[in-house]
Amino acid sequence: MMIQLLFLVPLIAVDYGASMKLVTRIVGGRCADQGEIPYQVSLQMQINGIDQHICGGVILDKNYVLTAAHCVSPPNGNASDMSVVAGTIDLKTPLSRHLIQSIFVHEEYIPPSLIYDIALLRLLSPLKLSSRICPVDLPKQNQAVKAGSIAEVSGFGIITVEGKEGEERLYVVDNIITNETYCEETYNRVANLTIEHSQICANHPFVQKGACMVFIPFSPSGNVGFVTLPKQDETVQEGAKVFGFGRLSIYLRNKAIATILMPNGSESRILQKATIYIAKQDYCNEMYNKILYNIYNTHICAKHQPRILQLSGPLIVNGKLVGLVSWVEACVSLQYTDSSFHFCGGSILNDNYVITAAHCAKAIESPSNVKVIAGTINLIDPKSEHNVIKIIIHEEYDALNSWINDIALLQVETPFIISTTVGHVPLPPKDYVVKANDIAIVSGWGRLWQGGPTTVRLQRVNIFIADHAYCRYIYNQMNYNIYPTQVCAYDSTIEKGSCHGDSGGPLTIGGKLIGLVSWANGCASTSYPTVYTNVASYLNWITTNTA
């Protein structure tokens, strides 16, 4: 089981070598054109007398290839058994194969650590550079990677989780670089992983694209092997440690291509490519802080590029399309300025402020990186767009303590103009008490189900307030606390409720803002209620910070 912020679910796109065959996987990509990625190579190993793809790599010059240290470290690090294939998008037709003369693993790389996961391969014979085989451009020393920027990831893998397409082609897919603070926050809470400045996070919150989920089991003998990520509610074999989850990927800052293991997928011999957005480093740190390994400043976080216009399906799980009713007038979409990518929801408090979740605000590098879309139920047709000039996060927000105080305010540059489609959300009275079994409405532009599709249309669904004692009990079994400043809601009979992309959005009763979508164990579970920030507990804080 996994606890998830309802914004995005991350994964680590680096895995470690084992005596078994390694595979590289790109999800949701497209076939690369010949010569489109001339720096991409396939690192191959002789297994039972057959050359098999184990990792990707990039050409630095005619003599050297850059790859991940875990790809060439023992037991895989035998140069005589390995070769590099360059100049092809189809491994069935290798254009140029070169033996490896020497392997140089970073002297501070110590498996299974993720830090310094980088290596150089010196080729026995030089590459013949051409339009299909040429070096990659390296960044400047310590070049900053901006959250929200677009990057590309490529590799020989499959383009669907089922592994039914693309077994023989190189693929590419667009990703978005992820805010580092958010990245580290999630992993810090789940598995004690720290994201370092040498690492970058990337993912796509809504579309299954890019690197896949990976588990790394540690056997009693100390050997490292692979198991595919289990589905929701499945268990991992004894002794296994979670290496990554969701779809947030970590990359080395020097553009090395990372290897991943695809659940339920088969090996592909076709290069794939992806465009991703660079994430803010402290956001990435916050997400990965508790996932077994430290993320260092030699890594970069990224996430997939959104393609809103190509998506379809409802957003709230088992919800209904929204018509224009009073409380919908206050619903807003928080989007990255450069990409117009929806990543969280929110509500209009007054002419100048929007209320949302703190973990959403933590994903924003600076006010200039986010905009507020108001007055619409269809993101294809935004009616009112507002720049953000100030972000106020609750000073006692703590992602390591069940995301307590998960509340934030955004001040917009130009005031909201009240109309038939734009309005304020009413707040509850100070002494308001949420009662178990009360019917509430949650709305947002999130996923249809965990890992499912999204749509541009705002959705809503009726759910029930959960008994607070029950919610506290069920999450205490997972070592999470539920506080009086939090509200739980779900439907115990049907999977419906909020999901990824709904974070920060409103939970209302009688048209009043009762809660903010915060976190849950899975999406719309019938066993585990979703946890919301109890707005009535923060009325003084809201008044003080919006005065």
Is 359 assigned a catalytic role? Answer: yes
Q: Could you give the angle at which helices 180-191 and 281-288 cross, rounded to 10 degrees?
A: 10
Catalytic residue among 498, 503, 518, 525: 503
Is 503 assigned a catalytic role? Answer: yes
Q: Which fold has domain 313-546?
A: Thrombin, subunit H (2.40.10)
* Cis check: omega of the bond before 94, within 30 degrees of 0: no
Per-residue pLDDT of the chain (547 residues; tens, 9 = 90+): 445 455 432 222 333 232 222 233 455 557 788 888 899 999 888 777 778 888 889 999 999 999 988 888 765 567 888 899 999 888 877 778 999 999 988 888 877 666 788 889 999 999 999 999 999 888 887 777 777 667 777 887 544 333 343 445 676 666 667 777 767 766 565 555 667 666 777 764 434 444 433 222 222 222 222 222 223 333 322 222 222 223 344 444 332 222 222 223 333 344 444 445 456 566 566 555 533 345 555 566 665 433 222 222 223 444 444 443 445 688 999 999 888 888 899 999 999 999 999 999 998 889 999 999 998 888 888 878 999 999 999 999 998 899 999 999 999 999 999 888 899 999 999 889 999 999 999 998 887 666 666 667 888 889 999 999 999 999 999 889 999 999 999 998 888 888 888 899 999 999 899 999 999 888 888 889 999 999 999 999 999 999 8
Q: Token digits for 513?
A: 């803002």
Catalytic residue among 98, 359, 394, 468: 359
The residue behind tokens 């003369």 is 101
CA 413, CA 354: separation in Å to the nearest integer?
11
Is 406 assigned a catalytic role? Answer: yes
Half-sphere exposure of 83 (CA within 13 A, CB side): 17
The reply to whether CATH 2.40.10.10 applies to domain 24-213 is: yes
CA 255, CA 263: separation in Å to the nearest integer?
24
b/e code 184-199 from CB counts within 10 Å (16+ = b): bbbbbbbbebbbbbbb
Let me know if the fold of 24-213 is the same as that of 313-546.
yes
Integer angstrom CA distances of residue 450 from 4, 132, 323? 10, 40, 25
Sequence ranges of the domains in the chain:
24-213, 313-546
Q: What are phi and psi of 366, to 5 degrees?
A: -155, 160
Three-state SS annotation for 209-246: CECCCEEEEECCCCCECCEECCCCCCCCCCCEEECCCC
Catalytic residue among 117, 174, 282, 406: 406
CB within 8 Å of 33: residues ≥ 6 apart: 89
Do strands 170-177 and 271-278 pair parallel, antiparallel, or not at all (unpaired)?
Answer: parallel
